[in-house]
Structure 1
């Protein structure tokens, strides 16, 4: 089973992003469904059950960052995977802390994580034949982040679904 750690915009932000995508960008052949909107902190890939337990136990013992706000205000396109995305001009410290924590959990479980610089992004469309023109109205979506999730990626006839299998609430610190 394929797994990844991620955070999600709240429901209102997801709807606002979808509305903006439909109003200000060209129609995509392969848009990401709104229900799949997320920002990955660590992609784990194929994970056996025993390693999944190690990963969850590790996260359970960690001091998670306090809830934070995330602003998606940047558009981008990667030509090799043909992906159009929204990103952050300023990545919050809380997100970077979650990236470190989730990558460490993968390493403790002896999972070989991809070695590339972290770029916080939310994928809007896949299999883009060419880079779309930037939207006429720049994106600016701010959402509270209050939870870290561990998701399973399930491929089916109707596409990929991401199911949240475990979650951890970010603690309000005083």
Structure 2
């Protein structure tokens, strides 16, 4: 099962971002835009995970979620990974978000799952270029004006990603387990 761990902004925040990106989507149909119901903040991508390590991981993620308090976050501005990925920034309690991502990554490593060793960059992916690279700098500049409303991240999600199962051949993301932040299980 292909998995990742994420936080998901509330519907009102996603709708606000969808409205703000409408001109970008109209001007850049060559990009593959991620549907808002698939938007999330990835803390760690895990790839294919078998049942036994997944069971261990879920126990470790429950403990990690209990150790971290809810976070005040917002979305705003823009960024890119080269000429392939367009994203919006995450703002607010970024230090807490980085600590949470490190804790989640440690949980995955302790469950004997491979975790990429690269710095965590808080973002929400909006679109990807197709087979050919696209100059995303103008889109990033347009996104610089966007400043979304604040929201509280209260739950950590273990998410299954099914490639090609979503609308238009996109991935479908399905939470398979969730934990309230800062709450110890009894």
Q: Do both share a fold (TM > 0.5)?
A: yes
Q: Establish whether residue 64 from structure 1 lines up as the match of residue 67 from structure 2.
A: yes
Q: Establish whether residue 130 from structure 1 lines up as the match of residue 135 from structure 2.
A: yes
Instruction: State the partner residue of 1:78.
Output: 81
Indicate the RMSD between aligned Cα atoms, in angstroms.
Answer: 2.1
For structure 1, which runs of at least 5 residues remain unmatched after alignment?
A: none
Instruction: State the partner residue of 1:109.
Output: 111
| Contact 2:76/2:143 (8 A) holds in 1 | no
| Contact 2:3/2:46 (8 A) holds in 1 | yes
Instruction: State the partner residue of 1:156.
Output: 164
2:107 alignment partner, SS class: helix
1:135 alignment partner, SS class: helix
Q: Tell me, in whole angstroms, the C-alpha distance in 2 between the residues paired with 1:4 and 1:130.
A: 28
Instruction: State the partner residue of 2:40.
Output: 38
After TM superposition, give the deviation of residue 137 of structure 1 in Å: 6.2
TM-score (ref. length: structure 2): 0.84
TM-score (ref. length: structure 1): 0.89
**Across the two proteins, how many residue pairs are aligned to each other?**
172
| Contact 2:78/2:143 (8 A) holds in 1 | no
Q: Establish whether residue 146 from structure 1 lines up as the match of residue 154 from structure 2.
A: yes
Q: Establish whether residue 27 from structure 1 lines up as the match of residue 38 from structure 2.
A: no
Q: Tell me, in whole angstroms, the C-alpha distance in 2 between the residues paired with 1:77 and 1:58.
A: 32
Give the helix-richer structure, 1 or 2: 2
Instruction: State the partner residue of 2:176.
Output: 165
Q: Tell me, in whole angstroms, the C-alpha distance in 1 between the residues paired with 2:146 and 2:54.
A: 36
For structure 2, which runs of at least 5 residues remain unmatched after alignment?
A: none
Q: Tell me, in whole angstroms, the C-alpha distance in 2 between the residues paired with 1:95 and 1:172.
A: 17
